[in-house]
Structure 1
Amino acid sequence: MAHDFDPLAPETFDSANADYARLRAECPVAHSDAWGGFWALMKHADVAEAAGDWKTFITSQQNVIPKVAFTGRRPPLHLDPPEHTPYRRALAPLFTERRIARLEPIIRTICRDLLATMRRAGGGDVVADYGAHMPIATFAHWMNLSAAAVAELTAVGQRYNIAVQFADMDATKESSLVLYDMARAIVADRRANPMSVDEDATSALLAVRVDGEPLPEELIVGTIRQVLVVGIIAPSVLLGSIAVHLSRDPTLQSELRADPSLIPAAVDEFLRLYTPYRGFARTAVEDVVIRGCPIPAGEPIALVYASANRDADVFDDPETFKIDRPNMKDSLAFGRGPHTCIGAGLAKLELVVAVEELLAAAPGFTLTAEPRPTRFPEIGALTAPIAFESAA
């Protein structure tokens, strides 16, 4: 079987996307021998089709490449419809536009406090000092966590992310188990001290009944464990990528700083251009043929969203930032089908506020070193060290 690309090869911030452009043109259904072997879909049409066809391409066998789920099933991502549906249905009311909008002043205060520390230092790492903390603090408010839980989640979440990035399986397992312990503690506390199902994710899950029966305890714990991580890693990586792009394009920096009303549209384009996922996986339940390439049933398939969103068949001049793209609805930044990101609205709000505040923090900023890239399953900046310019 052909070995079309090596996800373990050394990368720069830009090299993976350059390789994916080659694969889209020459080998859009690619195979790699890494991690026991897997397929990778590079074209927008194929990724969208597989993500939407949940009956043929299931997520319950393997949901990410490399496989990092060692400690139990974590709904909704680890389940297929209709089994996953009660978990999404319980969480959905907590992600309504009205509910999310209430977090805007909280997110803004979090961002300003983090940036004040960076300003006093003259700069810092947008990922480690800003992006890694803001989503965790935001989620803490959304999940009604204590200050002690926030501090623990910040530390463990960073350890988990680094362990996954560097394929450190022992550290991945260790940090995942700690996250499970945190999730169990949250569930136990809500059993003892229930909150309104309209205000609290854990209480909402505990209140669900399917055919008169509550959801299994371990799957509720798994859901909370999943929420703790999914909502914190991608925004951190994407903010790093945005900082790299803006450091390379001071003109765009100035335009967005002068007219903040452009920032929501800019964030949409950043989401397309720097989609932070390349390793979400599906498994075909039967033999399939994609673009003439036979894929046997049971073999893992990566949906390379980052590549799909730079497909010239869908996006004109796809490697270029364009704030006014007419077909932004075609972006797969938040997935497609029944596993479309349920927290997309919150993620977009976090990013818009974070970019607004980063631009407002100084007249300009520049990279002080080359960004360190992430590895599978994310794609983007693992570091983005910047220096703030002083006011004239």
Structure 2
Amino acid sequence: MRNPSVPSPLGAEYNPLVSPHLEDPHPFYARARREEPVFYSPVLGAWVVTRYEDVSAVLAAPGRFSSVGSIDVGAEKLPPEVLQVLARGLPPLPSLVDNDPPAHTRFRGLVSKAFNARRVAEKAPLVRTLAEELVDGFVSEGRADLFTRFAHPLPARVIAGIFGIPYEDIPLFQRWSDDLSAVFAAHGSVESLVRCAHGVLDFQRYLSEALDARTTSPRDDLLTDVVTAARELDVPASRAELVGMLTQTLFAGHETTAGLIAGAMELLLRNPEALGALQADPGLLPGIFEEAARMTSPVTAMFRTTTEEVELGGVSIPKGAHVRLVFASANRDASRFPEPDRFDPRRDTSRRHLAFGQGIHFCIGAQLARLETGIAVDVLTRRLPNLRLIPSPDPRMLRSVTIRRLGRLEVEWG
């Protein structure tokens, strides 16, 4: 077994939060899959898994690879000043993404109804109306940042509607989501992380007060559904667990889809033949979605913790070790996807990608993301003629150990 205190050259080189890995990690991942598909990263304090076969094997064995604590791996690296602020808020108890059965099953049931196929299909007219209204706001300008003007506000408004949150509060959630990402990544100066920690507490207070409001005045929204369903649980859910679950759902419900919409549009604009094919045949839209999900992998990675000593990719990993599953790498594994860096909407194997996970933790919002992205691509390519990219030296990539998305997508049209 490799001694983690003496990292390999790959392990010593790897840091997903800085250049060049932040902007384009794929050359490094291709090298890792060839040379050392499972390696130890001192920066992350975790074993990094890069091949499709190995990532899929971990996802299929939740008993050996626990999800508890999967979103706050690295929190021990936070400065004491930050931990002191966070200690004033609700404790970070496992709930949805960061939990194992049977508790995971119990919490998933609290929100699954809002994202079932029927309810998602009912959102189609609303999503299209919101998309058209957003384009109305900038179509006459001839140039825009599609991320800030469209890709982010569209899913943010959709998930806010599902939760029953006023649209005017959406900027708060954008700021709090950024704060949450910074704290999870433990990235930034002490002063900035302290500020972000206060934002996390504001996020908790907002959701806790919203739950209180639904308890006394029920509405037709997800927050009310959660309050109602929580009363019927055999094992009562604490306020910390409910707020943690809602934080995860709200964060994932707009950040990942915003990244997917922006990533899909960038891929189309960098592959004009695919864009032309879509305009000639709208039936290609499902294939474009799956291929964009595979290539962008908005949830770039997730963590697990071993419950026993395991062997993975020929490497022995001790019990209690953190393991980072790199979906972005697995989704470009040539053994599973021939010519993996080629954008091919007709690819037969695209639906076997891991962009939404696999098994018991398969993304609960995958159907909603599919609906939103499909409508977004349709509206943008129809409303903005001769759409083209404006080269940008700074894509403003989000610094996160789990989410990877653009923060800017400059385009022009007409």
TM-score, normalised relative to structure 2: 0.86
Q: Is this contact kept in 1: 2:179–2:197, CA < 8 A?
A: no
> Does residue 182 of structure 1 match 2:182?
no
Counterpart contact for 1:306–1:379, Cα < 8 Å: no
Equivalence for 1:379? 404
Per-residue CA deviations over 1:319-338 (Å, capped at 9, x if unaligned) read 11121222233211110121
- Give the alignment partner of residue 69 of structure 2, picking from 38, 56, 61: 61
Q: Aligned to 2:264, which of 242, 253, 256?
A: 242
Cα distance, 1:59–1:349 mapped onto 2, change above 3 Å:
same
The alpha carbon displacement at 1:111 in A equals: 1.3
Matches of 1:283 and 1:379 in 2, distance apart?
A: 22
Q: CA deviation at 1:187?
A: 0.6
**Structure 2: stretches of 5+ with no match in the other structure:** 1-5
Of 33, 36, 46, 1:27 maps to 36
User: How far is the alpha carbon of 1:150 from its aligned partner?
Assistant: 3.4
CA offsets per residue over residues 157-180 of structure 1, 9 Å max, x none? 355457767823334423222221
2:159 is aligned with 1:139:
yes
- The letter of the residue matching 2:52 is H
Structure 1 unaligned segments of length 5 or more: list them: none
Q: Which amino acid aligns with 1:333?
A: A
- 1:12-161 → structure 2 map (5 Å cutoff): 15-35=24-44, 37-63=45-71, 66-67=74-75, 72-73=92-93, 75-158=95-178, 160-161=180-181
Identity of aligned residues (%): 26
1:216 aligned onto 2:238? yes
Q: Which of 338, 360, 364 is equivalent to 1:342?
A: 364
- Which residue identity does 2:39 align to in structure 1? A
Q: Could you say which residue in structure 2 is the equivalent of 1:363?
A: 385
Secondary structure of the residue that 1:307 maps to in structure 2?
helix
Per-residue deviation at 1:64? 5.4
Match of 1:267 in 2: 289
Deviation at 1:119, TM superposition (A): 1.8
Q: What per-residue deviation string (whole Å, max 9, x for no partner) do you get for residues 260-285 of structure 1? A: 22112211111011111233100101
Q: Secondary structure at the match of 2:266?
A: helix
Deviations 1:60-94 (A, max 9, x none): 13335554996522521121111111111122222
Encode CA deviations 1:133-158: one digit per residue, 9 max, x unaligned. Answer: 11110001111223343343244335
CA distance in 2, matches of 1:261, 1:220: 40
Task: Give the Cα separation in 2 of the matches to 1:66 and 1:44.
Answer: 24
Pair 241,200 (structure 1): closer, same or farther in 2 beyond 3 Å: closer
- Assess if the C-alpha contact under 8 Å between 2:29 and 2:50 holds in 1: yes
Pick closer, same or farther for the CA change 1:380–1:239 going to 2, 3 Å.
same
1:285 aligns with one of 269, 294, 307:
307
**Deviation per CA, 1:364-390, whole angstroms, max 9, x where unpaired?**
222223334334322342221111x21
Worse overlay, 67-76 or 180-189: 67-76
User: 3-state DSSP class of the match of 1:40?
Assistant: strand
TM-score between both structures, scaled by the size of structure 1: 0.90
Find the aligned partners of 2:361 and 2:125 in 1 and give their Cα distance: 29
Check the 8 A contact 1:365/1:386 in 2, yes or no. yes
- What is the CA–CA distance in structure 2 between the aligned matches of 1:160 and 1:358, rounded to whole Å? 30
Bigger mean CA deviation after superposition, 229-238 or 206-215? 206-215
Do 1:190 and 1:203's aligned partners in 2 also have CA atoms closer than 8 Å? Answer: no
Matched residue SS, 1:347: helix
1:18 to partner: Cα distance: 1.4
Letter in 2 for 1:157: S
Distance 1:265 1:307, change over 3 A: same
Q: Secondary structure at the match of 1:84?
A: helix
> Residue by residue, what CA displacement relative to the aligned partner does 1:247-271 show, whole Å, maximum 9, x if unpaired?
2122222221232221122111110
What is the alpha-carbon distance in structure 1 between the residues aligned to residue 234 and residue 43 of structure 2? 45
Equivalent-residue separation in structure 2 for 1:315 and 1:241 (angstroms): 19
> Does the CA contact (< 8 Å) of 2:70 and 2:303 recur in 1?
yes
Q: Pick from 347, 370, 373: which aligns with 1:325?
A: 347
Q: Counterpart of 2:95 in 1: which secondary structure? A: coil
Give the 5 Å matches for 1:170-209.
170-195=194-219, 200-208=222-230
Between the aligned partners of 1:331 and 1:253, the Cα distance in structure 2 is 22
Deviation at 1:106, TM superposition (A): 0.9
Change (3 A) 1:65 1:324: farther
Answer whether contact 1:205 1:215 (CA < 8 A) is retained.
Answer: no
CA contact (8 A) 1:207 1:214 kept: no
1:2 has 2:26 as partner? no
* Distance across 2 between alignment mates of 1:356 and 1:46: 36
